């Protein structure tokens, strides 16, 4: 079973039978202009792990998306070059291939667009632009050979589109389903979930109303609706300053300010959420619904990493979008967020259910992802 997570198994999946997606997941969508190939995936993996693409030579994609930590970093908000911190929690790369937008605010439409931003963000890679990164690649004989094989380009023609395509191809291999939940729900194995987890599933789809956004479909479950919701997280950081923050940011944006720089370097602007990307006043503080697959392995939680445990997350929702019942509610709260009235048993069961969303073989993914190609 774990064989599907080894490189050979994955390559078989992506070069031959798309229908061999893991239990509970659909085939990975692959854009027509970036087909998977074994050589491209290998190249992408090497680029993903290359720390030279940063101002201090210490930050790679894998710095915040650590293969051994389920491709996250265990930190509330990620650390970039020279230890600088941003405003957002690193989401896992596992199953990011299914996301319809990337980043918590969905500011990029696909994986190809996503990987171009961090190297040149002032609190992430810290490079002034992509030129130094391309210089490293063009002077590295191994990369030159690989880019020639994969993209049929000479060193001077290597560009960021190709770099991003290779990284995206690698990321499209980081998929994992086949969790106890999948075996129970889609695989017909009624013993795959214990009694508490089965009760938790009922809370998840019933009284807890989690499934409204973290979706389970008839034949698959991505545990996301790929939409943006204000669930109350981070509201305290911007409370009473929404008008001023939105006005100043939207004016700066019209004058040319970059969204990714502003949201990662300014805490209040970060809390504008999807509004910062779309300018739409109905998206204040709205962030993308993350998948819940492997959620037991991806603490801390929420876009700002402000909740440390799954128990805290459940309490947050149970209180209607706030840490404590006495906390103020965001006026911009999404309609679906309201006090749930879960009792202690239901909360425990819900947490037990979320722990049944962990895929086997994550460690095998990690071993593969962590391999040093240098």
Please tell me the number of Cα atoms within 13 Å of 26 on its side-chain side: 15
Number of residues located near other proteins, criterion CB under 8 A: 23
Nearer to other proteins, 143 or 332 (CB): 332
- The binding track of 95-134 with respect to other proteins, each residue x by CB under 8 A or -, is ----------------------------------------
Q: With the CA atoms of 285, 286, 291 and 292 taken in that order, what torsion angle do they form, in degrees rounded to the nearest 10?
A: 50
Q: Does 326 bind other proteins (CB under 8 A)?
A: no
The distance of closest approach from Cβ of residue 271 to other proteins in the complex, given in angstroms and rounded to an integer, is 13
Pick the stretch among 24-32, 83-91, 176-184, 325-333 that binds other proteins (CB under 8 A).
325-333
Q: Mark residues 279-308: x for contact with other proteins by CB under 8 A, - for none.
A: xxxxxx------------------------
Kindly state the smallest distance separating residue 279's Cβ from other proteins, in Å: 4
Identify whether 339 is preceded by a cis peptide bond (ω within 30 of 0): no
Is residue 243 close enough to count as binding other proteins by CB under 8 A?
A: yes
Judged by DSSP in three states, 352 sits in helix
Determine, following the binding rule CB under 8 A, whether residue 58 of this chain makes contact with other proteins.
no
Per the DSSP assignment, residues forming a β-bridge with 108 are 102
The DSSP secondary-structure symbol of 307 reads B
Binding of other proteins at residue 333 (CB under 8 A)? yes
Query: Residue 362 in contact with residue 94, Cβ under 8 Å?
Result: yes
* Residues 301 and 259: beta-carbon distance below 8 Å: no
Choose the stretch contacting other proteins; rule: CB under 8 A; options: 21-29, 81-89, 249-257, 308-316.
249-257
Residue 215 has a CB neighbour count (10 Å cut-off) of 18
The only residue of 82, 247, 371, 373 in contact with other proteins, by rule CB under 8 A: 247
User: Helix 141-151 and helix 131-138: axis angle, to 10°?
Assistant: 100
**Minimum CB distance to other proteins, residue 240 (Å):** 11
Cβ–Cβ under 8 Å, residues 324 and 304: no
Verify binding: residue 259, other proteins, rule CB under 8 A: no
Q: Are 18 and 173 in contact (CB under 8 A)?
A: no
Taking alpha carbons only, the member of 58, 63, 68, 92 closest to residue 78 is: 63
Instruction: State the Cα angle at 240 between 311 and 123, rounded to 5°.
Output: 65
Among 331, 341, 345, 373, binds other proteins (CB under 8 A): 331
Of positions 11, 51, 75, 250, contacts other proteins by CB under 8 A: 250
Query: Does 136 help bind other proteins (rule: CB under 8 A)?
Result: no
Tokens of 17: 């039978």
- Interface region with other proteins, contact rule CB under 8 A, candidates 29-37, 54-62, 124-132, 273-281: 273-281
Catalog residues that contact other proteins under the rule CB under 8 A.
212, 227, 242-243, 246-247, 250-251, 254, 278-284, 331-336, 338
């Amino acid at each position: 079973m774990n064989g599907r997570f080894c490189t050979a198994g994955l390559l078989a999946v992506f070069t031959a039978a798309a229908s061999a997606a893991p239990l509970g997941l659909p085939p990975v969508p692959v854009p027509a202009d970036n087909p998977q190939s074994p050589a491209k995936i290998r190249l992408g993996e090497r680029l993903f792990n290359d720390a030279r693409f940063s101002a201090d030579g210490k930050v790679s994609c894998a710095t915040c998306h650590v293969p051994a930590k389920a491709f996250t970093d265990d930190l509330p908000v990620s650390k970039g070059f020279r230890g600088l911190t941003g405003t957002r929690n690193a989401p896992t790369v596992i199953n990011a291939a299914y996301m319809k937008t990337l980043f918590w605010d969905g500011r990029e439409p696909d994986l190809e667009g996503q990987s171009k931003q961090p190297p040149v963000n002032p609190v992430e890679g810290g490079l002034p632009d992509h030129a130094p990164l391309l210089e490293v690649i063009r002077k590295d004989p191994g990369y030159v050979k690989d880019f020639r094989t994969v993209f049929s380009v000479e060193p001077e023609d290597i560009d960021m589109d190709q770099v991003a395509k290779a990284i995206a191809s690698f990321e499209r291999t980081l998929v994992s389903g086949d969790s106890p939940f999948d075996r129970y729900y889609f695989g017909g194995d009624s013993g795959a979930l214990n009694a508490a987890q089965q009760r938790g599933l009922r809370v998840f789809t019933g009284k807890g109303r989690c499934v409204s956004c973290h979706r389970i479909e008839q034949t698959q479950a991505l545990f996301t609706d790929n939409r943006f919701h204000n669930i109350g997280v981070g509201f305290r950081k911007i409370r009473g300053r929404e008008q001023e923050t939105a006005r100043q940011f939207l004016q700066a944006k019209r004058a040319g300010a970059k969204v990714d720089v502003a949201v990662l370097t300014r805490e209040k602007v970060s809390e504008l959420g999807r509004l910062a990307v779309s300018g739409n006043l109905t998206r204040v503080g709205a962030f993308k619904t993350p998948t819940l697959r492997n959620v037991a392995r991806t603490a801390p939680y929420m876009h700002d990493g402000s909740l440390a445990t799954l128990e805290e997350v459940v309490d947050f929702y149970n209180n209607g979008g706030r840490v404590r019942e006495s906390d103020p509610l965001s006026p911009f709260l999404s309609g679906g967020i309201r006090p749930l009235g879960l009792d202690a048993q239901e909360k425990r069961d819900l947490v037990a259910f979320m722990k049944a969303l962990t895929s086997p073989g994550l460690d095998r993914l990690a071993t593969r992802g962590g391999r040093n190609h240098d």
